[in-house]
Amino acid sequence: MSKGLFVSFEGPEGGGKSTMLKRTAEWLIENGKEVLCTREPGGTKLGDYIRDMLKHDSCGESPTNAAEVLLFLASRAQHVEKVIEPALKAGKIVLCDRFEDSTFAYQSYGRGYDLNILLNLNKFATSGYSPSIVFVLDIGLEDSLNRMNKRQIQTNTSADRIELAGKEFHHRVRDGFLDLQKKEPNRKFLIDASQEENMVWEQVKSILINKM
Ligand code: T5A
């Protein structure tokens, strides 16, 4: 389907996805690779617009749960066709901060939508593009909340609509990521993200070396 390599970083809030994505990109670039860093929701102008609506109700109204699913998928469809597919065809390594596993964990395990329905809708949005390597950065709720607070202080921001969804919701999401990883252990790699940053990075790096 394509010459490049597609890698995603997944897991609960504050697990260090952005931190690990950045370190991965720096390491790959140092090793002469062509890298594209992107994120979901977002990655395109339309996607960033949708991101603002989903996180901050920027249009002045919260989406219903069904509208939320479709907005994440609209962002993804645009992202795959306009950004991810061309980069992979050009032989680049695409590093994506969240992708389809977030939809399955948050909208199926979290919100309660049927996983098979979401798998099919997602296939429509992605035309079958799926990461070859998925890092699942697992973190417990308490650590996750501490990290989110730390990041909010660092960036002078406040919690967004999904971060405020409640403890039960976030427990289900975490269990969802763990369940999804168990179903595909050769493609999805579970990392204990509560460890110190350099230890997390060493594990990510060793999996990359092994798989590339
Ligand atoms: N969503 C997304 C869905 O519901 N469905 C979907 O289909 C998709 C695609 C996206 C939201 O949308 C939801 C999920 C999310 O709620 P987002 O802003 O992208 O929102 O949110 P997150 O991905 O959760 O981003 P965060 O910034 O919260 O978390 P990260 O990227 O996992 O964490 P990071 O790297 O920013 O680190 C957070 C803080 O922890 C520190 C960092 O320095 C930072 O301060 N840190 C560590 N501290 C100690 N030890 C370590 N090992 C550390 N690693 C990082």
Which of 58, 102, 196 has most ligand 1 atoms within 8 Å of CB, for mutation? 102
**Cα(19)–Cα(90) distance, integer angstroms:** 25
**Strand runs labelled E in 34-132:** 35-39, 93-97
pTM exceeding the 0.85 threshold for the entire prediction:
yes
Residue 116, classified by CB atoms within 10 Å of its CB into exposed (0-12), middle (13-18) or buried (19+), is exposed
Q: What is the pLDDT of residue 2?
A: 63
Q: Note the CATH number of domain 5-211.
A: 3.40.50.300
Q: What is the pLDDT of residue 1?
A: 52
Residue nearest to atom 10 of ligand 1 (CA): 41
SS3 44: coil
* Cα dihedral 145, 149, 155, 157 in deg (nearest 10): 90
Residue whose C-alpha is closest to residue 129's, from 83, 198, 167: 83
Enumerate the domain spans of the chain: 5-211
What is the amino acid identity at position 160?
D
Q: What is the pLDDT of residue 207?
A: 97
Residues of the chain with pLDDT under 70: 1-2
